[in-house]
Amino acid sequence: MQLVNITSTAKGVVHKYGGSSVGTPEKIKAVAARVAKVAKSGQRIVVVASAMGGMTDTLIALAKDMGEVLSPREMDVLLSTGEQQTVSLMAMALNALGVPAQSLTGWQCGIRTNGNHTRARITHIDTAALEDCFSRGVVPVVAGFQGIDGHGDITTLGRGGSDTTAVALAASLGFDCDIYTDVDGVYTADPRKTAGARKLSSVSYDDMIDMSQNGAKVLETRSVQIAKKYGVKLFVGRSLCENRAEGTYIVAEAAEMKKTARAFL
Ligand code: ASP
Ligand code: MG
């Protein structure tokens, strides 16, 4: 199976941009220009963004300044604001390029979770708001890392949780999922620490889950588990990379596509 030249049969694509990819106004505009190209080609696209690089840590430091006991509920209200900044800015940047776009927080996007504050799990996704955007020709720009629980409280999904948002949305919609980050793809070892580390053109879900559990930071473990369960075709590449041969696909040869899947618990 030639993984690098797979032609997709997916109905659309989720692009997830990590904190380093949206860390400055210039970077947000560069990402918007890239997303605009995809949107103008007629492909359905959902953008998921993380908070600007360092923002979540800054917010945690602010919270620690308030006293000893950190309320998990209040942490989630606070931490969810980081992603809210980037999605509104990204939607503005897209609109400025003539691409209709709209930001959506987790709850606006129908992402329901359990009530386990700061480490919540997605239980259900109602894709109505996304479908509504598509029907109006609007690009949805979704805040990663957050949802809403049964009490209407904001929850967050754990550090690195924007990957999970992106893959869960792709599974719900039957879309492919591209994760754009500050490395070229998945390496056999950390290239900054290990001489001779080799970039992989493809990795199986199981190997990627092992690598994530053993500390590879490139993808959050849970996102790969969801990708495996629902057969989401995952691609990891550097932020503005256009040449897919430069990145890494995470797939299973016998992946069973279950495009109507909605529950992730
Ligand atoms: N902003 C959150 C974090 O720093 C979530 C994410 O970036 O995926 O962990
Ligand atoms: Mg990450």
**What is the length of the chain?**
265
Q: Which H helix or E strand runs over 263? A: none
Give the closest residue (by CA) to ligand 1 atom 4: 56
Q: Is the pLDDT of residue 3 over 90?
A: no
State residue 9's pLDDT score.
65
Strands 154-156 and 146-148: antiparallel
Strands 248-251 and 234-238: antiparallel
Q: How far is the CA of 33 from the centre of ligand 2 (A)?
A: 22
Instruction: Please identify, by atom number, the ligand 1 atom nearest to the C-alpha of residue 161.
Output: 8
Q: Provide the whole-model pTM.
A: 0.91
149-158: pLDDT as tens digits: 999 999 999 9
Q: How far is the CA of 21 from the centre of ligand 2 (A)?
A: 11
Question: For all residues of the chain together, what is the average pLDDT?
Answer: 90
Q: Is the pLDDT of residue 259 over 70?
A: no
Summarize the confidence of residues 90-97 as an average pLDDT: 98
10-25: pLDDT as tens digits: 799 999 999 999 999 9
Written as six digits, the tokens of 30 are: 């560069």
For residue 101, which of 46, 172, 27, 31 has the smallest C-alpha distance?
46
CA distances from 129 to 105, 112, 164, 228, 232 (A): 11, 13, 19, 25, 21
48-83: pLDDT as tens digits: 999 999 999 999 999 999 987 889 999 999 999 999
Q: Is the pLDDT of residue 234 over 60?
A: yes
Phi, psi (rounded to 5 degrees) for 226: -70, -40
Written as six digits, the tokens of 18 are: 């990590």
Angle between helix 72-96 and 55-64 (nearest 10): 150
Give the closest residue (by CA) to ligand 1 atom 5: 160
Q: Is the pLDDT of residue 160 over 70?
A: yes
Amino acid at 238: R
Q: How far is the CA of 122 from the centre of ligand 1 (A)?
A: 16
Q: How confident is the model at residue 253 (pLDDT cuts 50, 70, 90)?
A: low
DSSP reduced 3-state for 163: helix
Which residues share a beta bridge with 238?
181
The region of weakest confidence among 44-48, 67-71, 188-192 is 188-192
